[in-house]
Amino acid sequence: METADPIVAATQIVNERFPECRGAFLSKSVLTSHRTPTSDLDIVVVLDGPPAPYREKIRSHGWITELFVHSRDSLTRFYGLDAQSRTCTLANMSANGYVPRSNGYEVTEIQEEARAIIDAGPAALTNEDRARRRYRLTDLLENLRGTSDHVETVFIASQLLREAGDSLY
């Protein structure tokens, strides 16, 4: 099967699977020069309620597609969970995504809400959070200094890099 244009495929998937949806957003990453041969479609779909929220991975129109199905309430709740983990993945998909399906004003409201969450940025770290992060970094550095096993070195270094990156915020 030939792979459809991502916008065409996303629109068809939303129309076929969610004809009653209140709106949908295709993450723009697949529409940029960062797309790779293994890129998938990430689509946020907003329903009136159940069965949302849920995630589902499907293959359709030549694409592997990850569906993030939500209600307005669950979107807000999951934005909050993302903010607690210091990420804005769902908010970014909604705020900046291509809109393959819109009911008008509500989609604009959803995008404005997502942008406000992104613009607010993460909450300030508490002194306890800073101390915990400092401890993890120090512990990983000690482990790295003490290992002679190549595989363990690579593993610890990757953990250290991730932890250092997370500590920037």
Residue 1 lies in a domain: no
Query: Could you give the number of structural domains in the chain?
Result: 2
Query: Hey, what amino acid is at 153?
Result: T
Rounded distance between C-alpha atoms, residue 99 and residue 70, angstroms: 15
Same domain, 102 and 132: no
What are the tens digits of pLDDT across the range 75-119?
999 988 888 778 889 999 999 999 999 987 899 999 999 999 999
**Structure-derived torsion over alpha carbons of residues 129, 133, 134, 140, reported in degrees to the nearest 10:** 160
Coil, helix or strand for 44? strand
Same domain, 133 and 61: no
**What's 42's DSSP letter?**
E
Residue 54 lies in a domain: yes
What sign does the dihedral 19-21-25-26 (CA atoms) show? negative
Q: 0.85 cut: is pTM over it? A: no
Same domain, 65 and 109: yes
